[in-house]
Amino acid sequence: MQAKRIEHLSPYLFAEIDRKIEEKRKAGVDVISLGIGDPVEPTPSHIIKKLCQAVEDPENHRYPSYYGLSELREAIASWYKKRFGVELDPSQEILPLIGSKEGIAHLSVALLDAGAYCLVPDPAYPVYRTGALLSDGIPHPMPLLRENDFLPDLEKIDSQIIKKAKIMFLNYPNNPTGAVASEEFLSECVKLAEKNGITVCYDNPYSELTYDGYIAPSFLEIPGGKEIGVEFHSLSKTYNMAGWRIGWVAGNKKVIDALGRVKTNIDSGIFKAVQYAGIAALTGPQDCVEEMRAIYRRRRDKVISAFASIGIEVTKPKGAIYVWVPTPAGYSSESFATYVLEKAGVVVSPGNAYGSSGEGYIRISLSVKDDRLKEALNRIIELL
């Protein structure tokens, strides 16, 4: 009954985790989830106010314009200029998305012919790989290893596959490892992509959530980046707007045009009231972002010192909202995640769910209230 192309598609990791949580809760367990990266703090009030105002206007109840409001595209262009010094043409180089997830998945539909290779980091946000599979493309893993600071070793990618690759996904600050990429590394990626006709799809939803003085670059500010690549952004994490579904892609015109062609045939854009709220987020006061950075930094440090207290050394992430923790001796990613859920009622994501190179790790998300995080860490530590 099912199409062949979904044969290799595993159930979505977090849908499975949700199912397990539901089961445990029904059985009376007080489950604490450190699984998904879904901000628990509310969306800042000035953004909510803007949404409420915009909802009252019947004009906003109609179909939104396919390519997003020009005011939103202009606000994104101004934000890019101010934040990264990158000039973007709002009419051709920016496309609003119903959350970046759909754009990432649809990009493969727009760029990959059947049998084309797509270079995907391993471990990684699962949608890069599944987008390629749904387009009958072939995802090719680029291992992210601790000894390479969780950057792909470009020299080690099979040269025959590079020649046949159409897309390379990259994501820094990185989910799940928390690693960051230097501008030198990104320049190397630009060179490789230019030489082989590859489109770099740089996923940058955590650019604003960085710590210890580190400021993340945009791929589009790297010389040549805007010519050979696009960059995905999201308001989900920066402004605690995960449920609102708003993000965008910016960069190379031809890629944006191809993705726009796919999307306009499939969806009808972002609810206009949410677009106005998105403008308020980008152009309004930014102290809410500083507050979130302080909150995540505090939680990150708690996780690191909890694991240090039982002799597990964790690399301190400079960005994103996750801690990538090596599993204790004697456990695989899966067996440790299961043990922690069964014995402590705490959900963590097994590292291998992000790709086989994630084996030997679990991912802890910092999007949980401080008291619950403390309780979860105590429960885990008591087990070991």
Ligand X SMILES: Cc1ncc(COP(=O)(O)O)c(C=O)c1O
| Footprint of ligand X (CB under 6 A) | 37, 99-101, 125, 171, 175, 203, 205, 234, 236, 242, 247
Quote the least distance from Cβ 203 to ligand X, whole Å. Answer: 5
Rg of the Cα atoms in the chain: 21
Cβ proximity to ligand X, 236 vs 349, nearer residue: 236
Residue 126 CB partners (closer than 8 Å, separation 6+) = 12, 13, 353, 354
Quote the least distance from Cβ 244 to ligand X, whole Å. Answer: 9
Is the torsion defined by CA of 89, 91, 96, 100 positive or negative?
negative
Cβ proximity to ligand X, 318 vs 345, nearer residue: 318
Quote the least distance from Cβ 96 to ligand X, whole Å. Answer: 11
- 105, 58, 127, 111: which is closest to 267 by C-alpha? 105
Cβ proximity to ligand X, 196 vs 352, nearer residue: 352
CA dist., res. 51 & res. 243, Å (int): 13
CA dist., res. 42 & res. 44, Å (int): 6
Cβ proximity to ligand X, 236 vs 252, nearer residue: 236
Quote the least distance from Cβ 247 to ligand X, whole Å. Answer: 4
Quote the least distance from Cβ 101 to ligand X, whole Å. Answer: 3
CA dist., res. 278 & res. 75, Å (int): 9
Q: How far is CA 372 from the centre of its chain?
A: 24
Structure token digits, residue 310: 């039982």
- β-pair type (117-122, 322-326): unpaired
Quote the least distance from Cβ 381 to ligand X, whole Å. Answer: 27
CA dist., res. 271 & res. 288, Å (int): 24
Cβ proximity to ligand X, 84 vs 248, nearer residue: 248
Cβ proximity to ligand X, 100 vs 252, nearer residue: 100
